[in-house]
Structure 1
Amino acid sequence: MKNNLETILAHYGEERDKHNGAIVPPIYQNTLFAFESWDHIDEAFSDPINNNIYTRGNNPSVSIVEKKLAKIAGGEKARLFSSGMAAISSAIMSCVKANCHIITLKNIYGPAMNFLDNYLRTKFNIDVTFVSGESVEEIENAIRENTTLIYLESPSSAIFSMQNLKAIADLAKKHNIKTIVDNTWATPIFQKPLELGIDLEVHSCSKYLGGHSDIIAGVIIGSAKDIDSIYQNEFLLFGAKMAPFEAWLLMRSLRTLPMRMEKHQSNALKVANFLENHPKIKSVNYPGLKSHPQFELGKEQMKGYSGLMSFVIDSDELSDIKNFVNALEHFSIGVSWGGHESLIHAPAISYLKEMTPEQFKSTGLSLGVMRVSIGLEHVDDLIEDLTGALNNIK
């Protein structure tokens, strides 16, 4: 029987008969699992990937969520990590070796860029080529004999440009190159990179998948072969396991994910249209707007849009920008995004501390770029709040 997303997230993988019929599976808050006999534990060690031995490896609370995430993303398996960066760095490490070459985007998530361009380059002599990602030909021209990975983020951080995932996946397969996509922005509700041919999909579960700003977690989703290899290597050796309680909270959150994403989308479309027509806003970066230069590509590979966008204030005065941000009442000032609450952040604040001035310049960002995460409040209140704050700009 083929079930829809809402049904999968409500029931799939829970096997309530194994938990005394509990409608909400219990939290297995334990470090190890005891066995009845020598033969039983010996059998478990023959297949540690699929048995509960020690919670640094597997845990029933975590496994339930992994099954749900793999199912909705169209993957064979998923592996949860203690943070989004743990998932990202582990996925990347599974695809590289010393002296290899990586192709990625100029405007990916700051810590991911730091990991690629600084850590890997320094530690393993791995070279990285940065591209805009908007042209498949650009990526093809960047391929070398030692290229092992194309790392993507669609839509990308801060400016929300997209890449043609299917075309890039097809190109990569011709050259025996692995592909990874950070799909945190769209979630598997609105975009399924694995079905487009991408090898590995990564998420910061701290964002929409968690949705309540109370979980730090990450996930890698892909084929059973790839995920099992990551389990035996990067996952076990780095030790960035997911805690049972956080997994239980994530399972709670997933039950409402489709409904939350629809509300985020509805609110964001209205806010984006408001901002686009406001005289004190230069431009709005949001894939859901028809004015977005890649609107048609977005319609082809996504089913909807989330609540994260950026816009550029029509002022070069730092005092104006500060006055605008400080005047907001319903938008909290903070990093991260994807929770129930609306947030605002100036990417320049963190990016200039995570990147060199040259790297920051290459992203196309400026001090006046504001990133907003549109939450689940009433959209009229959010627009009224933005209107009042924009009045503080001279």
Structure 2
Amino acid sequence: MDISYILNELGEDRSAYFNAVAPPIFQTSNFACKTVAEMRFALEHEAEVDFYTRGNNPTVDMLEKKLAALEGTEHAIAFGSGIAAVTAAVISRVKAGDHVVCVKKPYTWTNKLMNHFLPRFGVEVTMVDGADPQNFSQAMQENTVLIYLESPNSFTFELQDIAAITAMAKERGITTVIDNSFASPLFQNPAAMGVDLVVHSATKYIGGHSDVMGGVVCGSREMINQIFETEYMTLGAVLSPNDAWLLLRGLRTLPVRMERIAQTTRQVVAYLQQRHEVEEIIWPFLPSHPQYHLAKKQMRNNTGQFTIRLRTDHIEEVDRFCDSLQHFLMAASWGGHESLIYPAAASYKSGNYKSALPFTLVRFYIGLEDPEYLIRDLEQAFGKMRG
């Protein structure tokens, strides 16, 4: 299916809303029925019709159709946040007494889900180094029902060999779930490599403007309908029509944004390679990266996230470098038009507390600014790093 068709036409019927070029926001909680028979049908087929916006809504439906097509899956379901989508996908496949194998160092709240939430309900979780597919095989038990991947990982960007892991999982009837937010549906399609459920934080690249929260789960119609009828309708972490409209707006420009971000990131990384203050650049698309060939195999292009390790033994110098940046905002999320940093040093608190990550790490996200503009900012910040 052509990407231009998906982004501009799929799921849209302009004749149904006065031939408006931009689809309307169906800002309604309810949809009326004309007869008892019609209402009876709606109640019996709530996954398929617009009856109550907590279930389906025309604006949200458009978004879901486009996201499923971008990921190459039969169906999709949208949530109010990325972690809501992650949680629904995971808990839809587990019950008390089951075992989950999860890649180490996932997104913070995914880690909380795996290590604090699921064990409260009798689900055992084993965390493994995802760089070697055999680690997943060795961690599997007779009661293993789910493998959770995040490729690349959130901060240090380790990859997993998606096709190898899903092949092992299918041999044993184990469901696979992956967070594909890093790559976007344009640059990586895990379903084509055998993954059952593909999750995105739509807050990131899909929205693209840092003004909306959302999440999506893509998969087979059977699996998505199961989530709809249980976790989605029961827990109610739904996406509002207004937020769905903002995400639709973001999708229109996704290809041009991703290409610009990819190009600028390559230029910024090339500059950072020349800086003595940078001890290491953690980015799967560097030829020196140990998983470079896997990155090139699984992803069609680089995106805007990478991490640097500053060459210093003093946290004060890390703070000074980060505080001196004028055009990189310091924020937790990414995927919008603005460039950002997230310093691991921010997690180092008073007393004996230590982060799991070295304080010398700074995660970067490259937005839509001119590369020269960003490089000049880095130049002056390095100049102030030593005091």
- For the criterion TM > 0.5, the same-fold answer is yes
1:159 paired with 2:159, answer no
Equivalence for 2:131: 134
| Matched positions, count | 384
After TM superposition, the structure 1 = structure 2 runs for residues 48-127 of structure 1, keeping only pairs within 5 Å, are 48-121=46-119, 123-127=120-124
SS at match of 1:49: coil
Paired position in structure 1 for 2:254: 257
Task: Provide the residue aligned with 2:187 in structure 1.
Answer: 190
1:340-368 CA distance string (max 9 Å, x none):
00011113535x79xx979x53xxx2111
Q: Are residue 376 (structure 1) and residue 376 (structure 2) matched?
A: no
Matches within 5 A, 1:148-297: 148-297=145-294
Choose from 299, 303, 323 the match for 2:300: 303
Aligned partner of 1:390 in structure 2 is 382
Distance of 1:357 and 1:326 partners within structure 2: 22
Question: 1:158, 1:347 within 8 Å by CA — same for their partners in 2?
Answer: no
- CA shift for structure 1 position 303: 0.4
Contact 2:344 2:360 in 1 (8 A): no
TM-score (norm 2): 0.97
Letter in 2 for 1:65: L
- Following superposition, the deviation at residue 115 of structure 1 comes to 1.0
Aligned residue for 1:335?
332
Which amino acid counterpart does residue 362 of structure 2 have in structure 1? Answer: M
Of residues 36, 39, 55 in structure 1, which corresponds to 2:37? 39
Deviation at 1:316, TM superposition (A): 2.0
C-alpha offsets along residues 78-111 of structure 1, whole Å, 9 cap, x if unaligned? 1000000100111110111112111112211011
1:289 and 1:390 map into 2 onto residues whose CA distance is 22
Q: Which amino acid aligns with 1:69?
A: L
Q: 3-state DSSP class of the match of 1:86?
A: helix
Q: Structure 2: state its 5+ residue gaps.
A: none
SS in 1 for 2:336: coil
Do 1:309 and 1:372's aligned partners in 2 also have CA atoms closer than 8 Å?
A: yes
**Bigger CA drift: 152-161 or 7-16?**
7-16
Counterpart-to-counterpart distance in 2, 1:214 and 1:67 = 22
Deviation at 1:7, TM superposition (A): 2.9
Segments of structure 1 that go 5 or more residues without pairing to the other structure are none
CA gap of 1:357–1:177, structure 2 versus 1, over 3 A, is: farther
> In structure 2, what residue type is equivalent to 1:95?
R
Conserved 8 A contact 1:273-1:289:
no
Q: Name the stretch that deviates more: 244-253 or 272-281.
A: 272-281
State the 1:285 CA deviation.
Answer: 1.0
Matches of 2:318 and 2:384, distance apart in 1? 9
Asked if the contact 2:319/2:345 (under 8 Å) is kept, the reply is no
- Contact 1:203–1:219 (8 Å) recurs in 2: yes
Aligned partners of 2:345, 2:160: CA distance in 1, in Å? 23
Please tell me whether the aligned partners of residues 6 and 70 of structure 2 are also in contact (alpha carbons under 8 angstroms): yes
- 8 A contact 1:269–1:289 mirrored in 2: no
Structure 2 residue 16 is matched with structure 1 residue 24: no
Helix, strand or coil at the partner of 1:299: helix
SS of corresponding position for 1:210: coil
CA distance in 2, matches of 1:20, 1:41: 26
Distance (whole Å) between structure 1 residues aligned to residue 269 and residue 113 of structure 2 = 32
Q: Distance in 1 between matches of 2:44 and 2:90?
A: 28
SS of 1:103's equivalent?
A: strand
Instruction: State the secondary structure of the residue aligned to 1:298.
Output: helix
SS of residue paired to 2:12: coil
- Alpha carbons 1:181, 1:200 under 8 Å: kept: yes
Shift of the alpha carbon at 1:20? 2.0
| Pairwise CA distance, 1:288 | 1.7
Q: Which moved more, 1:83-92 or 1:19-28?
A: 19-28
Amino acid paired to 1:291: S
Could you tell me how far apart the structure 2 residues matched to 1:258 and 1:367 are? Answer: 34
**Which TM-score applies when normalising by structure 1?**
0.95
Over residues 27-71 of structure 1, what are the superposed CA-to-partner deviations in whole Å (9 max), with x where a residue is unaligned? 000100001111211122221100011000000000000000000
